[in-house]
Structure 1
Amino acid sequence: MIDETIEEIREMQTHSSSVVAVKATQSLAELTERDYATVEEFERDLERNVGALKRANPSHASLYNALQDVLRSVQGETDTFEDARELTLDTIDRVVESVEMGKSRAAENAATTINDGQTFLTHDYSSTVMEAVELAVDEGAELTAYVTEARPRFLGRKFARELAAIDGVEPHLMVDGASGMFLAECDRVIIGMDCIVEETLYNRIGTFPLVATANKMDVPVTVVGSSTKVVDGGFRFENEIRSPSEVMLEPVEGIELENPAYDATPVELIDQVITDEGLVEF
């Protein structure tokens, strides 16, 4: 399960960073099913696999924090493998619940800011934003949504399809470059986040030009996510450079293909950051 999860993270089969953190954490339960002669042997294997899962995507702060929590809570705390096994399983359950509850509470807080009749623009795929929209609609809001495709993996298409299944939401799917044309029709921008580190938002590529344009056009920008994604220290963001084949299937001589997964947006361009702990001040 661990190896499969590492491959899934590398291939971006799961788009939400919160879901990635949960799956990676749960995969560590596989270690408790193995036989170890000593607790030290188990802890070495736990540390090795935590490291491998973190390296699968070093850009995800929530993944890093969840795995570090498990490692920190288990290492050096028990004298036998059986005790370590039970502690590991209990810790996995606690960490997963914390990630999921943080995401849900952030969505609940964001939903209270979404009013009936609003038109919003969103980029990429955020399960937290999706949950916030669903909660707002459950409370009676009728919304119009403009969704970017989020090239080159077109993650916005999935978001638009899911919005289309919600009664009360009118989704519009557009190419990334069209956001400047449609922002004038929007009341706000609502996006998720990969992480915020030292007053910089790291999110799916295309976020920075969208936020900068919205800022220029006086369209307020709200960023939504779990507080575990807002990092003060101990985590260094590493951008992921994706395969050139996602941009152009056939390589062309003389062209250097650039395909970074994320870009950096100064938080000073953002009007609101909403987490499970409420509004975050910078």
Structure 2
Amino acid sequence: MIDETIEEIREMQTHSSSVVAVKATRSLAELTERNYATVEEFERDLERNVGALKRANQSHASLYNALMEVLRGVQGKADTFEEARELTLDTIDRVVESVEMGKSRAAENAASLFEDGDTFLTHDYSSTVMEAVELAVADGADLTAYVTEARPRFLGRKFARELAAIDGVEPHLMVDGASGIFLSECDRVVIGMDCIVDETLYNRVGTFPLVATATRMGVPVTVVGSSAKVVDDGFRFENEIRSPSEVMLEPVEGIQLENPAYDATPVELIDQVITDEGVIEF
């Protein structure tokens, strides 16, 4: 299960960084099914597999934080393998619950952001933003949403389809470069996040020009996500360079294809970040 999870993370078959963190954390339970002569042997194997899972995608802060929390919760805390086994399973359950509850609480906090009749613009696919919208609509709000396609993988199309299934939401799907046209009709920009590190928001490529344009036009920008994605130290973001085939199926001689997964947005351009722990103002 661990090897399959590493491969899945590398291929980015799962889009949500929170889901990636949960999958990786749960995969560590496989180690408790193996036999170890000593607790030290188990801890070495745990550390080795945590390292391999972290290296599978070094752009996800929530993945890093979840795995490190398991490692810190187990290493040096048990005298026997049996004790370490039970402690590992308990720690995995606790960390997974924390990640999932953090995401839900962030959505609950963000739901109050939407008022009846609001028009918002969003980029890419954020399950936390989606949950916040669902909660706002359930509370009586009627909303209009402008959604970017989020090229080249078109994850925004998935977001727009799911919004279309919600009574009370009128979704508009647009090409990424059209935000400057439609921002004037929007009350706010609401987006998710991959992570915030050293006062920089890392999110799906296209976020920086969107946020910069919104700031120039005076449209407030809100970022929504679990506090586990806000990192002060210990994590170094590394951008993921996706396959050129996502941009152009047939390579053309003399053209260097660029396909970074994320871009960097200074937090000074963001009005607020809403997490499970509350609101961070900038």
Q: Give the TM-score of the pair, scaled to structure 1.
A: 0.98
Distance 1:245 1:173 in 2: 24
Q: What RMSD in Å do the two structures reach over aligned CA positions?
A: 0.8
Distance 1:158 1:27 in 2: 27
Distance 1:52 1:135 in 2: 37
Structure 2 segments unaligned to the other structure (5+ residues): none
CA deviations on 1:104-125 (whole Å, 9 max, x unpaired) are 1110110011111101000011
Distance 2:280 2:86 in 1: 36
What residue in structure 1 maps to residue 34 of structure 2? 34
- Confirm or deny that 1:90 pairs with 2:90: yes
What residue in structure 1 maps to residue 144 of structure 2? 144
> Within 5 Å, which residues of 2 pair with 1:98-247?
98-247=98-247
What residue in structure 2 maps to residue 3 of structure 1? 3
CA deviations on 1:141-199 (whole Å, 9 max, x unpaired) are 01111111111111111111111111111111111111111111111100000111111
What residue in structure 1 maps to residue 60 of structure 2? 60
- Confirm or deny that 1:75 pairs with 2:90: no
CA deviations on 1:19-41 (whole Å, 9 max, x unpaired) are 11111101111111111111111
- The answer on whether the counterparts of 2:207 and 2:265 sit within 8 Å (CA) in structure 1 is yes
Distance 1:5 1:224 in 2: 26
CA deviations on 1:43-72 (whole Å, 9 max, x unpaired) are 111111111111111010000000000011
What residue in structure 1 maps to residue 50 of structure 2? 50
Residue identity matched to 1:176: D
Residue identity matched to 1:188: R
Q: Where do 4+ consecutive residues of structure 1 move more than 4 Å?
A: none
The alignment partner of 2:202 has SS state of strand
Distance 1:281 1:33 in 2: 45
Residue identity matched to 1:218: G
- The answer on whether the counterparts of 2:271 and 2:281 sit within 8 Å (CA) in structure 1 is no
Shift of 1:281: 3.7
Sequence identity of aligned pairs in percent?
A: 89
Size of the alignment, in residue pairs? 282
